[in-house]
């Protein structure tokens, strides 16, 4: 399984993901693989894949053959992924209705660049079982995969006025806390930022580890507050 986190912040958009793949009935975990890559660059935009991971990888491979990495803005990325993905899955599954096909959840984030107006941050979720009809997220984060713990924490801590730096810390926190409670999420955490001027950038492992270290220290201080009454 997976947890993909995407949230808007002041000055950018943050994408985060775990790296765990699971094999077997999700009601009884049988095997895991912590080497999954779930975040991808789509030109100036970014995408996170959840659901049937091997099917999603095949879909992304086909999209790249058709030039998905050349997208200049979010509207182009959404149009290409929506149309080409729907066509490919129809070719693969024939007359099987979308709702009965394997679930592929694609979070796509990037910017719209209207003339004479500031760039606009946009976040969408495309679901193969809804035939990739775009679902637009305005001022709430987009969470897919195993979202229940992250939804609770997001409602407590997220605000659209959050800075880009703090949004990256919150994304790491949502994923690491979920991993502490649900074994279907885990492995190394990957985080990317998307900014209107530079587009998509995947953070280096050292940057993510520094975020994780700071979050662990803050968690420890909170625990000490409850146990000892001081921060």
Q: Is 52 helix (H, G, I), strand (E, B) or coil?
A: coil
Residue 152: which residues within 8 A CB-CB, separation 6 or more?
A: none
Burial of 91 (0-12, 13-18, 19+ CB in 10 A): exposed
Residue pair 183/34 in contact (Cβ under 8 Å)? The answer is: no
Could you read off the pLDDT of 216-225 as tens digits, one per residue? 999 999 888 8
Give the separation between CA 77 and CA 89, rounded to whole angstroms.
Answer: 18
Give the pTM. 0.93
Give the separation between CA 52 and CA 2, rounded to whole angstroms.
Answer: 10
Could you read off the pLDDT of 90-128 as tens digits, one per residue? 999 999 999 999 999 999 999 999 998 999 999 999 999
Confidence of residue 32 (pLDDT cuts 50, 70, 90): confident
Domains recognised in the chain with CATH numbers: 3-228 (3.60.20.10)
CA distances from 49 to 53, 54, 104, 137, 163 (A): 7, 10, 7, 16, 25
């Amino acid at each position: 399984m997976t947890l993909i986190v995407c949230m808007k912040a002041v000055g950018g958009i943050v994408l985060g993901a775990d790296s765990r793949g699971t094999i077997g009935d999700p009601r009884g975990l049988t095997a895991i693989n912590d080497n999954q890559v779930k975040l991808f660059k789509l030109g100036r935009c970014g995408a996170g894949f959840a659901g049937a991971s091997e099917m999603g990888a095949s879909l992304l491979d086909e999209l790249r053959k058709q030039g998905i990495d050349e997208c200049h803005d979010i509207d182009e990325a959404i149009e290409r992924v929506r149309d080409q993905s729907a066509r490919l899955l129809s070719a693969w599954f024939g007359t099987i209705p979308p709702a009965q096909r394997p679930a592929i959840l694609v979070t796509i984030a990037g910017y719209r660049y209207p003339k004479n107006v500031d760039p606009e941050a946009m976040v969408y979720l495309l679901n193969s079982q809804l035939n990739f009809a775009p679902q637009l997220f305005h001022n709430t984060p987009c969470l897919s995969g195993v979202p229940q713990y992250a939804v609770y924490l997001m409602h407590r801590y997220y605000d659209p006025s959050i800075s880009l730096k703090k949004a990256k810390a919150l994304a790491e926190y949502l994923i690491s806390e979920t991993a502490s409670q649900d074994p279907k999420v885990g492995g190394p955490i990957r985080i990317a930022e998307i900014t209107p001027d530079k587009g998509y950038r995947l953070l280096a492992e050292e940057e993510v580890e520094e975020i994780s270290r700071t979050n662990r220290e803050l968690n420890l201080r909170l625990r000490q507050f409850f146990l000892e009454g001081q921060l």
